[in-house]
A and B are shown apart, each in its own frame.
Chain A
Amino acid sequence: MIKKLFWGKVFGVGVLFGVLCGVQLHAAQNASKIMWRVYHRPKWRDMHAFMTLEIISPNGNKRIRKMESWSKTDPKTDETKMLILFLEPADIKGTKFLLHEHKNRDDDMWIYIPAIRKAKRIAASGKAGPFMGSDFSNYDIGGGEYEDWSYKLIKEENYDGHPCWVIEATAKNKKVVKKSGYSKMVKWVRKDNYMVVRTDCYDRSGELFKRILTNRMEKIQGIWFETEMTALKLENNRKSIMRFEKIQVNIGLPDRMFSLRALK
C-alpha cells in the first residue's frame, strides 16, 4: 500500500539523465511533458543508506528516528523490495520493516517485533495518512501516479537561484483527492535537472496547508537524489525533516535479504 515507499522518489530521480544526454528542450515546454519527465526518472538497481527522521513539534520538541535501509528493484517486473532496520529510539531498536511492492495488488508489509520475536503482517493506513507519524504522508514518500493529475504551467521563476517551472497539478477526480489527501499541488521544478524543489499542498477544501521543501540533493552515479527534505504543516507549524546519509548504490544486494525468513 505504501507503494514505492521511498523508492518512487529514489527511482524517479533521473529524468536528468535525459537532459544530460543532450536532449534539447524547447522554451515552451508543455506542463504535462515536464511532469512526465519528473515522474519517469531512471533508477538505481539497489541502494543502502542510513536515514534520520526528525519530527519537530511547534514548541521545538524533537522526536528522532534513526534507521538503516536496503532496497532492490526487479528490473523485469519493476517491483521493489525494501528492508528497514530501526536503530533509534532505544525502545524500538531491532524492529524491522519489510515491504514487497506489487504492481497489481496491495503491497505486502511485515514488521518484526523483537520483544516477542515474531514477525507480523501489517496493513497500512491510507496513502493520505502520515508516514511513520511524521508530517510527510505516505503519498509524499511514495510519489503518487503521474496519471492522477492535470498539469498547468503557471509561471517560470527563479527558486533558490535556479530557474524553475511552477506547475499546478489538480486532482483529476474525487478518488484522487481521497487517496492523496490533496485537491491540488503546486510544484517548483528545476529546469536544469527536473528535480522538484518545493511543493505546496492544498487540502480537500482547497486550502494551502502543507509545504514540502527539498533542502539538499546529490548526484550519485549520474542520478540526482533528494538527500534532505522538510515537510511543514502551515496550520500549526509542525515540521518533519528526513535525511539520507552514507548512500551506496548498485552494490549487488542478494534477494534473500528481503525474504520473510530473513526478517525472523
Chain B
Amino acid sequence: MRKLGNFVSRFPWLTLVGIFGITLFLGYFMKNIRVETRMEAGLPAHYPEVKAYNRMKELFPSRDVIFIGIESNNIFSLRTLQKIWDLSDTLESLKGVKKVLSFATASKIKGTTEGFEVIPLMDDRPISEKDCEKVRELVDHDPMYEGMLIGKSGHSTAILVILKDNISQDEVLKIYKELRKIVEPYEGPEKFYISGKPVVEAMIAEHVTGDIRKLFPISILVAMVVLFISFRSLRGVFLPVLTVILASVWVMGLQGLLGIPLSLETSLLPMLLVAIGTAYGIHLIHQFNEEIMRGFSRREAVFNVYIKRGNAVIIAGLTTVAGFISLVTSQIKTIKTFGLMNGIGVFITLFISIFMVPAFLAVLKKPKVKPSASPESNTLKNLGVFTVRKSTLIVIISILLMIIGVIGIPKIKSESNEITNFPKNSPIRIADEWINREFVGTTPLNIIFESSKKGAFKDPKNLKIVDEFENYVKGLPYVGGAMSLTDMVKRLNQGLFADNPEYYSIPDSRQLISQEIFLYSMSGDPSDFDALVNPDYNVLNITIFIKTSNTGDLKKIVSAINRYKEQKLAGTGITATVTGLSRLFILMDQLVVKGQIASVISAFILVLIITSIVLKSFKAGVLSIIPLFVVVILNFGIMGFAGISLTHATAIVASIAIGIGIDYAVHYINRYKILNKELRDPSKTVITSTATVGKAIIYNALSVTLGFLVLTLSAFIGIKRLGLLVAITMVLSAFGALVILPSVMNLIKPHFGGED
C-alpha cells in the first residue's frame, strides 16, 4: 500500500494516461462481441445427456424450424389460401431457408388400385373457389395433416419454415427479423403466431442487447443520484461513475478479445458493475476528504488514503470477487462464464478505483470540505441500544425466520425452458401457447433406438416393437404427437393396398418393408427418411412433440419412458436413449440445482477464509457469515413461497448476496474490534459500533439495492426476478449486519484477541 501510495501520489498523470490507454485498447475489441443464447451452448459437453444429444444431431439432420401459425375463421377461404401461397413463395426464397412446408408446398400421396398418385395441394396461386375446394378435399380428415398443418380447432393452419443446417445464430436472427417483416403486411383478419426454438433464441439475443442499451444508462443515472445525495459534489458523482463505465468497457472489451459471447447472464455485467462498483470510489473519496479536512495537502492526502483505506477497499472487493468466482463450480457454462467475468469485472473495477480515483484526486483542485455533522447518529444509536436490550428476542426471531425459510426451500420450482423468461402476455409466449394448443407441440423429445445389426429396422419384428413403444409414449400426458419410421411404413403399406385402412400396419416381410421404402424414395421426397432412420437402418429416431414447457412434467414423461424401456426392450437387442431438446431442459434444470448448492457452499467457504484472514480471527470470520446465512436461507424461502423458480438467472442471486453482503458484516466486526479495545464493554461497543458504522452500511446497501432494482426493468422475467431478489437480499444483509449480528455479538460477547 505504501509503494502504491507513493507511486500514485507522485505520478498521477502517468497513472491516468495508463488507465485511459488500456481503456482505448480494450474498448476497441468491444466490436468483436457476439451474442449466443442457444441453450446447448451453455451445457457441458462431457455429460452423457449432451453427448447423446450431439450424437443425435450428427446422425439425424435436426433442422431448426420456425413455426408460423395462422388463425382464420375459414382456413380454406380463397383469401387465406392466397396468403399462404404468397407467404410460402416469399419465404422459400429467403436466405438461410431450406424448405417451407405448408398447404402451398405439400403434396398428398394417394394409394389407388393401380398405384400411387402424388397430388400437390396447390398447383399454383389459388384464384377460384374451386382451387380452395380441392385443397379442402385433399387434406380433410387425413391424419397426416392433423396437428401438423391443421390445428385442433379447425380454424388454424401453419407454415413451417425449415432452416438450413449449421447456420449461425447471427443468421437465425437475421432470418427471423426478415420473416417478421414479411409476415406483417398479411396480418388481419387472419392472425399470425410466430414461435419455435430459433425464434425464442433470436428474441432473447435481441432483447439481450436491447436490455444493455436500456438498463445501462438508467443504472448510471440511479448511481449518480445516490452519489449526489451522499456527496453533494461533482467529483463525488463523476469519479465513481467514470470508474464503473471504464470497468464496463474493459470487461466487455475483454469479452470481445477473448471471444466470449454475450449471453443472457453476461449481458448483466455492466449493470452489476455499476451497482456494485461505485462503493470503492466512495470509500476512497470519503477518506480523501477526511484527510484534507485534517489539513493535509492533496498529495499527502492521497498517500494517506492508501495507508488508511486501501486494505479495507481491497478486501471489500475481494470478497465480492470470491462470491462471483464461486459460480465457477457450476456445470453450466454460461453461469461459469458469468461468475468468472463478473469476478474479473469486479477486480477490474477495484483496480481502476484504486489507481484512477486517487490519481484524479491528486490532480483535481483541492476541494472545500465542510466539516460534516457528528459521525454518530441518534437513530442508529437507538437501534444499537435496541439490539442490545432485545438481543435474545432478536436471535430467536431470526432463528424462527430461518425455520420458515427452510420450510419454503422445498417449494422452490426449477424452470429451464427459455420461453418462461418472457412475460405471460408477451407475443412470443401467447404464440407459443396457442401453437402448443392447436398443433402437436413445439418442444421435441427424441427416442433413439439402436441395434448393433445393420438393417435391424427393416426387420418387421423390431419395427413392431418400436411401434408398440411409440403407441405407449403417445398415450402419456402432454404428448401431442410423434413422427417416426413406423408411421411412415404403415402409411406406405396402406397406400400400396389402395388406401385400405386394414393395411395400416407393419408388413410381415422384410423385403416388402424395404421395397415400400424404396418405392417412396422413387416417388416422394427420400430425404423425408433422413430424420427418421440412419442409412444403415440400425439407428431409428422417434420425434415426440410435447405440449408443455414445464420441466416437472417433462421429467415425468422421461421417467415413464425409461421405466417402460426396461421391460419392453429387455432381451430384444435394441437399446433406447431418450434425448432431444426436452431432455436438455431437464439436464439444465438438474445442473442449475446442483450448481446452486455447490456455489453457495463454496461462496461461504471462500468468504469465510477471506474474512478470517482479514479479521485475523476464525471466530470473527464465522460471526461475519452468520447474518449472511440467515439472508441466503430467507432468499430461498422467499423464492419457495413466492413461486419464483430457480433458473440459471435466479441461481446467481445467492452468490451475489454472499459476495456483497459480507462487506457489511466485515465493516461492522472491524469497527467492533477496534472500539472494543478502547471500551472493553461488548454492549457499549455494540451500541457505538452501530451508531458509527451504521450510516455507511445503510448508504452502501441502498446504492446496491437501487442498482439492482434497475434490473427489474429488464425484458426478461428471470432478470427481473434476479434484480428484485438481490435488492431484497441487500436490504436483508444490511438488516443482518445491523440487527442480527449485533444481537449475536451482544449475547456471546466475543473478545477478539491480538492487535489491529
Interface residues of A (CB under 8 A from B): 55, 57, 59, 61, 63, 86, 89, 91-92, 95, 97, 109-111, 113-116, 119-126, 129-130, 132-133, 174, 177, 183, 204-207, 235-236
Contact = CB atoms under 8 A, between A and B. Distances in A.
Contacts of A177: 93
Contacts, number: 101
A217 B507 CA distance: 43
A125 B515 CA distance: 18
A235 B535 contact: no
Contacts of B115: 110-111, 119-122
Contacts of B510: 91
A98 to B, nearest CB: 11
Contacts of A130: 525-527
Interface in B87-113: 89, 92-97, 107, 112
Nearest to B61: A236
A92 B517 CA distance: 10
A114 B523 contact: no
B577 interface: no
Contacts of B512: 113, 115-116
B164 interface: yes
7 nearest CB pairs, A to B: A121-B115, A91-B514, A133-B526, A120-B115, A115-B512, A123-B118, A205-B95
Contacts of A86: 518
A92 B511 CA distance: 7
A125 B525 contact: yes
B465 to A, nearest CB: 19
Interface string B505-531: 001011110111011011111110100
A174 B164 CA distance: 21
A55 B92 contact: no
B525 A205 contact: no
B165 A95 contact: no
A125 B524 contact: yes
A91 B515 contact: yes
Given A97-B522, A113-B512, A122-B116, 18 more contacts: A61-B536, A63-B535, A91-B510, A91-B515, A92-B514, A110-B115, A111-B522, A113-B496, A113-B515, A114-B511, A115-B507, A121-B116, A122-B115, A124-B523, A129-B525, A132-B526, A133-B521, A204-B92
Given A61-B536, A111-B519, A205 B94 contact: yes
B114 interface: yes
Contacts of B61: 236
Contacts of B184: none
B535 A120 contact: no
Nearest to B107: A125
Interface in B296-336: none
A109 B526 CA distance: 17
A97 B526 CA distance: 16
Interface centre among B496, B509, B522 (most CB of A within 10 A): B522
Contacts of A97: 522
A122 B515 contact: no
B455 interface: yes
B163 to A, nearest CB: 11
A116 B516 CA distance: 10
A77 B418 CA distance: 63
B93 A91 contact: no
A123 B116 contact: yes
Contacts of B429: none
A205 B535 CA distance: 29
Contacts of B507: 115
A113 B116 CA distance: 13
A120 B527 contact: no
Given A116-B496, A123-B117, A55 B535 contact: yes
Contacts of B535: 55, 57, 61, 63
Contacts of B452: none
Given A63-B535, A122-B522, A207 B95 contact: yes
Interface string B670-688: 0000000000000000000
Contact of A92 (B93, B112, B518): B518
Contact of B523 (A125, A204, A235): A125
B522 A205 contact: no
Contacts of A121: 112, 114-116
A235 B92 contact: no
Contacts of A129: 525
Contact of A124 (B93, B96, B165, B522): B522
Contacts of A236: 61, 165-166
Contacts of A132: 521-522, 526
B58 interface: yes
A115 B511 CA distance: 6
Nearest to B114: A121
B521 A91 contact: no
B496 A91 contact: no
B490 interface: no
B546 to A, nearest CB: 27
Contact of B58 (A59, A119, A207): A59
Interface in B9-51: none
Given A63-B535, A129-B525, A205-B93, A95 B117 contact: no
Contacts of B112: 121
B458 interface: yes
Contacts of A109: 522
A59 to B, nearest CB: 7
